[in-house]
């Protein structure tokens, strides 16, 4: 699976899941080019959920809950694509709430604002990668 396909698969996972997922967080960081060290499975417990650390320059930082926290998702987007425009809306119906995100003209929806923003961000990166590689039918076109 190439990078573009991986980004699109992760965007689909963000839209399909109904709750935050630490394994998804690690996958998103890896897909965006960070070196990630995941917490060994024998150290994961109810009190210590899965997660890990990522490398930024020469420092290792705690993996942010990008699928759960809108602030973490926005900071990651600003770090990786500071010039991209984005928006997030809450679409409330009588019995359901969904979020709609738009990042660099790529849209996505999710059960949480952070998931919707992550999905749109991943689609935008996939679109950029496909366009730079000259692939026909780039996502979002």
Q: Which domains does the chain have, with CATH numbers?
A: 3-132 (3.30.2120)
Does 86 have pLDDT greater than 80? yes
Q: Model confidence over 8-52: pLDDT tens digits?
A: 999 999 999 989 988 899 999 999 999 988 877 666 566 655 567
Sorted by sequence, the CB contacts under 8 Å of residue 118 that are 6+ apart come out as 10, 11, 14, 28, 66, 67, 73, 110
Q: Indicate if the alpha-carbon torsion angle 16, 4, 67, 103 is positive or negative.
A: negative
- pTM for this entry: 0.85
Q: Model confidence over 72-82: pLDDT tens digits?
A: 999 999 999 99
**Confidence (pLDDT) at 141:** 44
């Amino acid at each position: 699976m190439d990078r573009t396909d991986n980004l699109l698969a992760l965007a689909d996972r963000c839209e399909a899941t109904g709750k935050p997922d630490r394994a998804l967080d690690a996958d998103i960081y890896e897909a965006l080019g960070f070196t990630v060290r995941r917490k060994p499975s024998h150290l994961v417990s109810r009190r210590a959920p899965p997660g890990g650390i990522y490398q930024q320059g020469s420092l290792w930082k705690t993996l942010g809950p990008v699928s759960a926290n809108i602030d973490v998702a926005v900071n990651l987007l600003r770090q990786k694509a500071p010039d991209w425009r984005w928006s997030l809306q809450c679409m409330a119906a009588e019995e359901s709430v969904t979020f709609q995100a738009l990042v660099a003209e790529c849209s996505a929806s999710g059960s949480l604002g952070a998931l919707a923003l992550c999905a749109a961000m991943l689609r935008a990166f996939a679109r950029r990668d496909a366009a730079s590689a000259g692939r026909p039918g780039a996502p979002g076109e």
